[in-house]
Structure 1
Amino acid sequence: MSAPTIIPGSWLDREGGKGRRVCIVLLTGLGDVVNALPLVNALKDADPTLRISWVVEPMPAPMLSPHPSVDEVIVYRKKLGVAGVRQLAGEMFRQPRWDLAINLHVFAKSIWGTMFSRAPRRVGFDRARTFDQTWLVTNDRIGPRPRRHTVDMFLEFAAHLGAPVAAPEWRITFTDEEQAARAEFFSAIDRPLVGIVPASNITRKDWIAERWAGVVDALEGEFGFRAVLMGGPGERETRLAREITDAARHKPLWAMGDPIRRMAWMIDGCALLIAPDTGPLHMARALDTPVIGLYGHTSPWRVGPYERYHDLIIDRYTDPGEAPDPSRYDPKLGRMEQITVDDVVDRIRLARDRYGLMDRS
């Protein structure tokens, strides 16, 4: 890691004393939270004395603790409604005001954390890229431009504040206890492990259970890998995983409903991850685990793995002859069904040959 180049006259360059307080407001989802880690790393590299707090919802919060660039995690329990807002206000008003708030959200649910920071400078996206009048709670906005990959959009804030990033870093770290649990788990696996995340947060982004079962059988029978199903504890995710297990000849390992931190170190140890547009896909990219992304409902060039493993993407969002366009965020219906088992098997073969999957442990 080289020393950052701070733009003269920027907020990071100004005299302001040590220990300035920064409040990041990004509540969900898991993939977005992971994709914002290069921003907080850039800020911390530029001024190691910054104290960075992060307002986040409960589900993705474990990815921020521990993290070397996040000093405090403030959990906003949005599902509690007014009680959750009051709880957040009580926690934030007990502290001194923050010097800077960075609202990385584009929806109204982010207004409370931004306002409760009482920061004199509140930075957010330009008006055209926000919804629900969210831009009104900020008083400093990054310049308007087309939507881009999520990581690039977040890194616009780093440049705006004076710390352009040449090589983004995620720096997800594991405790000694997590590393010991990881070593114990993988010591019992006699083949390279391939993770499958069959479900996303939106049904229309999911693939078909019978086709996932075909991929499981190919992983185990043709390639000699061990497959494991990963994902959240919800009824829909569990049902889809059960359908896959019932349909597959080779029964995959079961890791559905595992805590997020456990999922992270498991992905870190996998030879490969296969997933639709969902948070664990971005965790895999952050951990440099090769990932096959299945895209039809959303654009992989906006929400796919950042700057790596594009050769493994299955893209049914972009029409034949159409140039990839990361500015598009309109969903496309019925596209996931166009992905076949053979499409995925071809990418598994490519990943094996290009990324040395049999040698990963």
Structure 2
Amino acid sequence: MALVPLPRSARVLIVMMSAVGDAVHVLPVVTALKRHDPTLHITWVLQPGPASLVRGHPGVDEIVIFERKGGWRAFADVRRKLAGRRFDVVLDLQVYFKASIVTALAQAPVKLGFDRARARDWNWLVTGPRIPPHAPQHVQDQYFEFLDALGVAYEPVEWNLGPWQHEQAARDAFHAGLSRPSACLVIGSTHPEKEWGAERWAALADALWDRYGLQPVLAGGRSERELETEREIMARARHPIVSTLGVPFRELVGIIDGSALTVSLDTGPMHISVALNTPTIALMGYTNPKRTGPYRYRELIVDAYGDPGEDYPVSIEKRPGRTSRITGEQVLEKVEIWARTYQ
């Protein structure tokens, strides 16, 4: 029985504002809600980065931008945008302070949030009712707990991330310009502890070219660290490499969607790749793969987070210095699994 029965044609406000990876995890929630009742109206409070990825999604009726760089003015702006509006349900999927403020600003009789043990920054003070306590699990499954509370089925899990129809020609044109199938290498992250050595990326790129007939395509942002990694990879690699660093997220969707394989650091595009059903080799060391790793393609995870034979629990514990332990041989073992299973 549902904890909070969802009224037909309800107006739903989703509060999950920040990381791209988290936004990707919210998409199956949106898709399931609209599959349950196509007449729902879904509004989502998002920061500009993830908003640029989500905009145009068929399940999202409206995006309210939260300009984090605006400081306290960002909250005043959201308050103005939400003023005079009433929602039937708020889904507070984010437990940090800024999300608590936005949740408090929204007008709704139901503000569904995490149980008190999992809520942070006093988030539980602004929600009610709260989903039942649950043992730690993958973030994607945690979000599905909200659907359980609403009595909404989420199988099959669908992201519907695109490419949208008007983006498909650009996707096809990009890949038509390559001489061979592509392997997308996501070389950058916002956190140095998640990064991998440029010399290893270069060696991997050459192996993908020589052994598997793949064209390496670099993906990521244009931070100074990523640009330096790009320069060193280009200098070391023996074969041509295509770089797409800094392309908008919607262009990246097309690049990944048309790729035969993605090899990615622990970052947002890793989750984008999974959502697009592109086989994804994830390099995990700093954060717990059981909690924030790829939701699919678990057999392709290069797991440096745990020690050999360790059955570690799901947790938010960070383990510095682990990603750098990953060897090229370990990654190529996963590439071989990909070649046997998905080619």
TM range (shorter): over 0.9
Whether contact under 8 Å (1:98, 1:119) holds in the other structure is yes
- In 1, are the aligned partners of 2:2 and 2:150 still within 8 Å (CA)? no
Most deviating of 56-65 and 110-119: 110-119
Equivalent runs, 1:13-32 vs 2, <5 Å: 16=7, 18-32=8-22
**Alpha-carbon offset, residue 197 of structure 1:** 0.6
Report what 1:359 is aligned to.
Answer: none
Query: 1:230-309 counterparts in 2 under 5 A?
Result: 230-306=219-295, 308-309=296-297
Alignment partners' CA distance in 1, 2:205 and 2:251: 22
Q: Does 1:329 align with 2:310?
A: no
Alignment partners' CA distance in 2, 1:152 and 1:52: 20
Q: Please state how far the C-alpha of 1:8 moved relative to its aligned partner.
A: 6.3
1:228-259 Cα offsets, whole Å, 9 max, x none, are 11012322222222222222222410100000
Deviations 1:329-358 (A, max 9, x none): 2011211121101111121122112101xx
Taking the aligned partners of 2:162 and 2:311, their CA distance within structure 1 comes to 37
Are 1:177 and 2:166 an aligned pair?
A: yes
How much has 1:324 moved relative to structure 2?
A: 4.8
| CA drift at 1:66 | 1.0
Deviations 1:18-62 (A, max 9, x none): 532100000121111101111111211222211000001111112
Read off the aligned partner of 1:37 and give its amino acid letter. L
Identity of aligned residues (%): 40
Corresponding residue of 1:314? 302
- From 72, 81, 94, the equivalent of 1:91 is 81
In structure 2, do the counterparts of structure 1 residues 105 and 8 end up closer, same or farther at CA, with 3 Å as the change threshold? Answer: closer
Residue 352 of structure 1 is matched in structure 2 by 339
Structure 2, unmatched stretches of 5+, are none
> What SS is found at the alignment partner of 1:59?
helix
Match of 1:33 among 19, 23, 32: 23
On the 8 A contact 1:295/1:316 being kept in 2, the answer is yes
- Does the aligned pair in 2 maintain the 1:66–1:173 contact within 8 Å? no
Answer whether contact 1:233 1:258 (CA < 8 A) is retained.
no
Q: State the match for 2:44 in structure 1.
A: 54
Equivalenced residue count is 343
Q: Is the 8 A contact 1:101 1:123 kept in 2?
A: yes
Alpha carbons of structure 1 residues 343 and 27: separation in structure 2 relative to 1, 3 Å = same
**What does residue 134 of structure 1 align with?**
123
For 2:93 and 2:276, the matched residues in 1 are separated by: 22
Please give the alpha-carbon distance, in whole angstroms, between the structure 2 residues aligned to 1:32 and 1:299.
15
CA–CA distance in structure 1, aligned partners of residues 102 and 231 of structure 2: 39
Q: Give, in angstroms, the shift of residue 301 of structure 1.
A: 1.4
CA contact (8 A) 1:196 1:228 kept: yes
Q: Distance in 2 between matches of 1:166 and 1:73?
A: 25
Per-residue deviation, 1:174: 2.8
Aligned equivalents of 2:274, 2:190: Cα separation in 1: 19
**Equivalent runs, 1:97-108 vs 2, <5 Å:** 97-108=86-97
d(CA) in 1 for partners of 2:59, 2:133? 28
SS state of the match for residue 117, structure 2? Answer: helix
Distance 2:188 2:153 in 1: 35
* Contact in 1 for aligned 2:162/2:253 (Cα 8 Å): no
Paired residues of 1:229 and 1:253 also in contact (CA < 8 A): yes
Q: CA-atom RMSD, angstroms?
A: 1.5
Paired residues of 2:9 and 2:41 also in contact (CA < 8 A): yes
Distance 1:311 1:276 in 2: 16
CA distance in 2, matches of 1:233, 1:19: 42
Please state how far the C-alpha of 1:10 moved relative to its aligned partner: 4.2
Give structure 1 regions of 4+ aligned residues with deviation exceeding 6 angstroms: none
- Structure 2: distance between partners of 1:291 and 1:82: 39
